[in-house]
Structure 1
């Protein structure tokens, strides 16, 4: 026998409990191997009965009720598209009565429409049952005997089932008065038998078959008084939990073997037998229902083309990606789902569209359906259009475009407990292609079959530009710089080209506009333009395309949105993870960074996180538009103040890693209102620049600090003098002697007035002035200043003080430079870091830098002397 496909199965047999499934399996004439194409999460058995190909489905263990049943059947409908009807077969609670409805344990109740109720099956199928099955005497004695024969034959052929599925003794069928409740204990042995209802014995062993209304709900009915009240009010014969969840999915017949009386008394010994009698009646039913072998075997599918976008006549590049996609979707054993991922604007939709049109041109029998997933409304409308094109409510989709919203796809959004993913079609012949910016969602929808589109493809970018503007304009030398500024992003290139063509510009003029100011660049990237390859009701600018992604990230993971905002304030390249604000677990951090990577907004999660340059620009604009930019400048400033290292040589690796980000922060105009409270951060940045030999940049920051410490609430004359000294120091390194001397003289005078002539900082300034004179080959003046430093230190600090000895060492070096070896001192102390003075750590740090600087310049003296 040829292997069967999901399209060959036409009858669904649904079971809620394991014992119901066991009873169902033994009814099959043949057992089938599962089709290889099955991939949904349901558990199935497959087989044949009287020519019917039957799929038996199980409810998830421990999950019963209408919602669970609806989810199972919905997934079945997607996988087995030729299902004609469902049988819900199992056990239920019976309503005891008299006469025609004298229901006993082991009897079978079959759902049947009444005057006001559908009997939990559709009317048309219910009428077929009434007219067909009852006409064939299944409700008469012959039918009941037939059920008994099936039960007996099953038990003879499967002796291991007798203990659980055999008929219990008749005296265990106990019906108690409705007002009497079960007493303590697992069985009714201890219940008072005086409360038993007196019923006439029923002749024969065959179970009776009853037709009528079956009530379905999420709770087991265990109250006999409630049972009788509802039964009398609605004409109910049986209570169960799952059937109503199937009614809207498939024409369904409910078959229940009676195992209790919906009261508080325990009748568990009847469950196996009741499941078997229900399954036996289902088998008897299928013996008289004609088998259907599926429409796929008797008619050829009509080709359908439901794609709302026209082919892009200017599509170029991406040949490798298209070749790989075509291979994946045309290979016979290839994946049924493939996802194209990448940054918004990178060209995912255009690639999918081109693949769709190439598939149409190559395969004349292939149908293709395109579902825009930008909103639930657009999805609903697309499915409606497809249903109208097919003339029925079943369809196979090949492309889901812009499937970005995880919540839309994976979150339960209806009473049946179903997600949008549950409605994806299943077919061995069909393929689904997703386009999404969200790689995390792509991995869930198409595990291990992802096609990432790189953010940067220079060859494709150049082809797009040439296609849009023509060879003459693109031949300019500025084309490379133009594409680099637009990060080689196809949508940004298309948008810029439309603006250039509309305004009669050339690449150079556009590039000047783009580079002149950040605000101008944002405005250019926000210009709307017409693009026939994109949806008419959506705005096309590249900045706008990312707005939805920003909102989705905010909703899915607020920490990720915070990280995105934080990174927008600093340099977008090589962001160390340690610079980000703490307050989250390692797992939360990695998930947040992973989401940003999933949207291609960033790349990397450790020491070299990179943010896409245009996304960086767009995020800054988004923060400004929402009044959040100044807030995040403050947040980043606080964090940088905590983590930015001092400019000690032992920290050089770390501060070189942090320096670009500190510069991006403090050079932003918005930082001006925060600078008074973050002077230490500015000082450390300036010190790092000076240590790195970037004197012109350091000069700007020291001059800025001098201004800050001289005004308002930040006024501090001591710190102002310190930074004037540092400013003089960078003048010295730049060879700006006059400015250096003038500033050091101001510092010395100010320190003398503020601290006194013998204060260590005042003496340190004298030492650097002396060293400056040596560098300028003014040795005589240097000797005078060094002598003055020694005298002041001896008088104020004492001849044995460490600073005094350093001053003596300076003087000895100057004597040596001048060739006066007889005056040289023999003692030289190595560093001033050993000092532990009473001035405090900040002054020790300043003294250390200035004194080491003095020694450095003195050491340079002999070299400079050789240039005379």
Structure 2
């Protein structure tokens, strides 16, 4: 028996013949344009569907003021309506942006507000495209030969579907990575993006930015009480320690683990923390003992932010400016201090090219865009604020020569 598949196409002057076993068989007389074969990987998933590698909710997580602001898009009662806006959750490394988004996704899922909740890692453009393509395959059962095709097919699906969906894009590191990849704004969809960035490119186009800060004192104390509930003797000095740590969620989580492993009270830990004999890195859990699947200690969590800030124009100024800020008052440094000849000369020496005072001032914007400092344009002196733990982590990486040069320049700038 002939195993060839063949038939005459009406109106055509040629046979179409396929012999042997074949996965895709096309009968055509005339083909115009490109031809793409899609292979069916599996049956489409059934909705409602929860997709992606969601991080676990942190131990003893609590609803914060910022999560209430994010969940404010939920309507009251049994009927839940998703906003058509994109929400960009921005803030310094360690303030809990991912946990805010994770908490929100859980709330949306359990309330039945969405038929599709998907988590996409956004640390690079390649990661976004790969995540989109995987989701497209899950939703349709069709695997595209190129991830870019799958990504665009997902965006088209999101734009046209009546399915209620929420897409979380976690840890966006460069705004340009989402060029032509922003999910569409529709009446049935919602986008949440977490990022350390504050660039203006992330605003507008029906996008709302929510700044995530540190815990409030009440939130920090409630967190410590919950974490140490089984060992109440360790709570002595909890309020003072929370203040010393600047109410930073990541620091509180890691310090709690360190104290529990060593049966140290909050007061005993604070004594070590404020001693000049101990560096911050030595007062945190070992990498293999970090809680809540953290990937880095609080002492190392800002290194990537500094690298990204250093890439921004004027390039190379973020690191030395952060070093200057680490020696000054964390609660408010006049911006004009950084626009002095003393600081410009320090930067010239550090980066090996001529830096003027305008460039020095602009360099602060690089740090602000990565949430390493906060510029307050509404204050009289346009104050620069920086978290005390960022200062400490920066200072502890100084060489002796760096410290001497930076301290002298900072002192000269203050006298100007």
Do both share a fold (TM > 0.5)? yes
Change in 2 beyond 3 A, CA 1:630/1:461: same
How many residues were matched structurally?
344
Change in 2 beyond 3 A, CA 1:474/1:438: farther
Which of 391, 397, 400 matches 2:169? 400
Change in 2 beyond 3 A, CA 1:329/1:350: same
Q: CA deviation at 1:128?
A: 4.7
- Are 1:307 and 2:63 an aligned pair? no
CA–CA distance in structure 1, aligned partners of residues 364 and 196 of structure 2: 15
CA–CA distance in structure 1, aligned partners of residues 205 and 357 of structure 2: 29
Change in 2 beyond 3 A, CA 1:356/1:584: same
Q: Deviations for 1:461-485, whole angstroms, at most 9, x for unmatched residues?
A: 1122122111653784411111111
Change in 2 beyond 3 A, CA 1:388/1:616: same
SS of residue paired to 2:88:
strand
Given that 1:513 and 1:521 are in contact with CA atoms closer than 8 Å, whether structure 2 keeps it comes out as no
Partner of residue 609, structure 1 = 384
Partner of residue 548, structure 1 = 304
Partner of residue 281, structure 2 = 522
CA–CA distance in structure 1, aligned partners of residues 233 and 96 of structure 2: 21
Given that 1:341 and 1:437 are in contact with CA atoms closer than 8 Å, whether structure 2 keeps it comes out as yes
Change in 2 beyond 3 A, CA 1:495/1:333: closer
CA–CA distance in structure 1, aligned partners of residues 290 and 413 of structure 2: 48
Matches within 5 A, 1:429-828: 429-440=188-199, 443-444=202-203, 448-470=207-229, 472-473=231-232, 476-517=235-276, 519-525=278-284, 527-528=286-287, 530=289, 533-534=292-293, 539-557=295-313, 558-580=316-338, 581-582=343-344, 583-584=355-356, 586=358, 588-589=359-360, 591-605=362-376, 606-622=381-397, 624=398, 627=399, 630-631=401-402, 633-638=404-409, 640-641=411-412, 644=415
CA–CA distance in structure 1, aligned partners of residues 271 and 362 of structure 2: 39
CA–CA distance in structure 2, aligned partners of residues 425 and 574 of structure 1: 39
SS of residue paired to 1:382:
helix
Q: Deviations for 1:544-589, whole angstroms, at most 9, x for unmatched residues?
A: 2211111111112433333112212334343222322244464x45
Q: Deviations for 1:382-409, whole angstroms, at most 9, x for unmatched residues?
A: 33542342223333561011112235x2
Over the aligned positions, Cα root-mean-square deviation in angstroms equals 3.6
Partner of residue 649, structure 1 = none
- Are 1:359 and 2:108 an aligned pair? yes
CA–CA distance in structure 1, aligned partners of residues 103 and 62 of structure 2: 11
CA–CA distance in structure 1, aligned partners of residues 187 and 403 of structure 2: 52
Partner of residue 370, structure 1 = 119
Q: CA deviation at 1:594?
A: 3.0
How high is the TM-score relative to the length of structure 1?
0.36
SS of residue paired to 1:493:
helix
CA–CA distance in structure 2, aligned partners of residues 633 and 129 of structure 1: 80
SS of residue paired to 1:323:
helix
Partner of residue 183, structure 2 = 425
CA–CA distance in structure 1, aligned partners of residues 59 and 272 of structure 2: 26
Structure with higher RCO (Cα < 8 A, 6+ apart): 2
CA–CA distance in structure 2, aligned partners of residues 642 and 592 of structure 1: 16
Q: Deviations for 1:572-625, whole angstroms, at most 9, x for unmatched residues?
A: 343222322244464x45543233233332223545322110011111233x3x
- Are 1:130 and 2:5 an aligned pair? no
Change in 2 beyond 3 A, CA 1:450/1:365: closer
Given that 1:522 and 1:617 are in contact with CA atoms closer than 8 Å, whether structure 2 keeps it comes out as no
CA–CA distance in structure 2, aligned partners of residues 344 and 322 of structure 1: 17
Partner of residue 91, structure 2 = 342
Change in 2 beyond 3 A, CA 1:441/1:569: same
Given that 2:308 and 2:370 are in contact with CA atoms closer than 8 Å, whether structure 1 keeps it comes out as no
CA–CA distance in structure 2, aligned partners of residues 319 and 643 of structure 1: 38
Unaligned runs of 5+ in 2: 1-23, 39-43, 143-149, 159-165, 345-354
How high is the TM-score relative to the length of structure 2?
0.71
Q: Deviations for 1:171-209, whole angstroms, at most 9, x for unmatched residues?
A: xxxxxxxxxxxxxxxxxxxxxxxxxxxxxxxxxxxxxxx
CA–CA distance in structure 2, aligned partners of residues 566 and 248 of structure 1: 59
SS of residue paired to 1:423:
coil
Largest Rg, 1 or 2: 1
Change in 2 beyond 3 A, CA 1:310/1:443: closer
CA–CA distance in structure 1, aligned partners of residues 98 and 193 of structure 2: 9
Q: Deviations for 1:435-458, whole angstroms, at most 9, x for unmatched residues?
A: 111122673487651111122411
CA–CA distance in structure 2, aligned partners of residues 495 and 559 of structure 1: 30
CA–CA distance in structure 2, aligned partners of residues 567 and 320 of structure 1: 29
SS of residue paired to 2:333:
coil
SS of residue paired to 2:271:
helix
Which of 46, 56, 62 matches 1:317? 62
Q: Deviations for 1:693-723, whole angstroms, at most 9, x for unmatched residues?
A: xxxxxxxxxxxxxxxxxxxxxxxxxxxxxxx
Q: Deviations for 1:492-523, whole angstroms, at most 9, x for unmatched residues?
A: 11101111111222222211111112643332
Given that 1:302 and 1:365 are in contact with CA atoms closer than 8 Å, whether structure 2 keeps it comes out as no
Higher helix share: 1
Change in 2 beyond 3 A, CA 1:306/1:445: farther
Q: Deviations for 1:813-848, whole angstroms, at most 9, x for unmatched residues?
A: xxxxxxxxxxxxxxxxxxxxxxxxxxxxxxxxxxxx
CA–CA distance in structure 2, aligned partners of residues 572 and 518 of structure 1: 22
Q: Deviations for 1:404-445, whole angstroms, at most 9, x for unmatched residues?
A: 2235x2xxxxxxxxxx33123324321110111112267348
CA–CA distance in structure 2, aligned partners of residues 300 and 351 of structure 1: 27
Given that 1:482 and 1:507 are in contact with CA atoms closer than 8 Å, whether structure 2 keeps it comes out as yes
CA–CA distance in structure 2, aligned partners of residues 634 and 370 of structure 1: 46
CA–CA distance in structure 2, aligned partners of residues 567 and 502 of structure 1: 34
Given that 2:82 and 2:188 are in contact with CA atoms closer than 8 Å, whether structure 1 keeps it comes out as no
Change in 2 beyond 3 A, CA 1:514/1:635: closer
Which of 71, 75, 91 matches 1:326? 71
